[in-house]
Amino acid sequence: MTAQDFIPKSYSKNLENGSFTWSSPSNIALVKYWGKKEHQIPANPSISFTLDACKTTTTIKFKKKIKLNNSFSFDIYLDGDKKDHFKPKIETFFKRIEQFLPFLKDYHFVIETSNTFPHSSGIASSASGMSALALCLMSIEKQLIESDVTLSAVERSFDDNYFIRKSSFLARLGSGSACRSLEGDLVVWGQHFEITGSSNLYGIKYPFEVHDNFRNYHDTILLVDKGEKQVSSTVGHDLMHNHPFALQRFEQANNNLSKIIDVLKTGNLKTFIEIIENEALMLHAMMMTSVPYFILMKPNTLEIINKIWKFRQQTGLHISFTLDAGANVHVLYPAKESKQIYEFINSELVAYCQNGHYICDRIGFGAKQLPI
């Protein structure tokens, strides 16, 4: 599919008003997206676990504008409070997706959003937030098309696969990693020669066999630093332009994705750990070796990593970590070892978290529409 396939045939904007609610989770990349080309095209393919507990719920209320004009009209609320400083991000998103959703300038929108995780947790809400918003907007398009009596019955029928695909396509234009949040439990984004159907334009559900070792995998997120991100994702991805190791990094990501296919099939946890920890450290290595350079890990991030390695060596249990572009640590482990590992986290690692805060999450199955 190409971007052109997401430009709909014209339809009339007959609805006066309405409302939709979607809840969409965050995700954690195993093979990382770091570096992009124009129009949110990733420099390399990535794969993620969809999370379950960390999610955003968004309601969009829409009302036909009394007087049409050439601008977007919307208000945005987080936990009931008006947030005008979120507007530029949404405005940019609307500009990027306008050609794919031709109704955007015909309505005034009230966007009400809330996250299950605290805003100041250092956990980015862009993946869950942008995917929830994209789904709400797609629900409006679906309703407009289905209720347009000037269209033929065939033109009015809306395919579920197309709905998810276009929602993921739109979410990507809001934030790249958001296109991996709609489905579960594993999602691939970015073209990879071994993964049938993979695309740079949207995420797809991982199409191959997954071993039972990865069912219900746990992710305990240790909140080492709850401050604002030191490096925004825009600045971060930009660091890969003219980066001395960029080409090697993109090749490595492709190779790691190839390797993880076999690992996911056979349940080889040892190699799984090698791949994801290598990916996490490589992401940070890229930041440390770019110009300008950044160190996003904190002393406690390293304390935690060293403790995890020591515990793994002593017990033989399959505890591992991955990192985002920040200091927080995602501790990943299989469900069948969760009791012992959770005890270790509680007694040894929580002390390194800011105010002792952490979030218990696990693999989830994607976004859900909630009743109005």
Chain contacts with ligand DP6 (rule: CB under 6 A): 29, 32-34, 40, 46, 124, 126, 175-177, 233-234, 237, 283, 324-325
Q: How far is the C-alpha of 21 from the C-alpha of 136, rounded, in Å?
A: 6
Tokens of 231: 């490096």
Q: Which residue is nearest to ligand DP6 (CB)?
A: 176
To ligand DP6, the closest distance from the beta carbon of 33 in angstroms equals 3
Which CB, 100 or 344, lies closer to ligand DP6?
A: 100
Least distance from C-beta 104 to ligand DP6, angstroms?
20
Instruction: Select 34 or 272, whichever has its Cβ closest to ligand DP6.
Output: 34
Complex with ligand DP6: residue 40 or 58, whichever CB lies closer: 40
Asked if residues 55 and 116 have their Cβ atoms less than 8 Å apart, the reply is yes
Could you give the CA distance from residue 101 to residue 234 in angstroms, rounded to a whole number? 24
Q: Which of 283/317 has CB closer to ligand DP6?
A: 283
* Coil/strand/helix, residue 45: coil
d(CA 318, CA 332): 8
User: Minimum CB separation from ligand DP6 for residue 192, in Å?
Assistant: 14
Query: Minimum CB separation from ligand DP6 for residue 180, in Å?
Result: 7
Tokens of 336: 């069948």
- Min dist. Cβ of residue 319 to ligand DP6 (A): 21
Give the total residue count for the chain.
Answer: 372
Do residues 335 and 319 make contact, with C-beta atoms less than 8 angstroms apart? no
Q: Which is nearer to ligand DP6, 144 or 178 (CB)?
A: 178
The separation between CA 332 and the C-alpha centre of its own chain, rounded to angstroms, equals 17
Q: Of 213 and 233, which CB lies nearer to ligand DP6 in the complex structure?
A: 233
Give the start-end residues of each E strand in 38-174: 41-42, 46-64, 73-78, 81-82, 107-115
- Contacts of residue 5, defined as CB under 8 A and 6 or more positions apart, other chains included, come to none
Residue 175 CB, shortest distance to ligand DP6, in Å, is 3
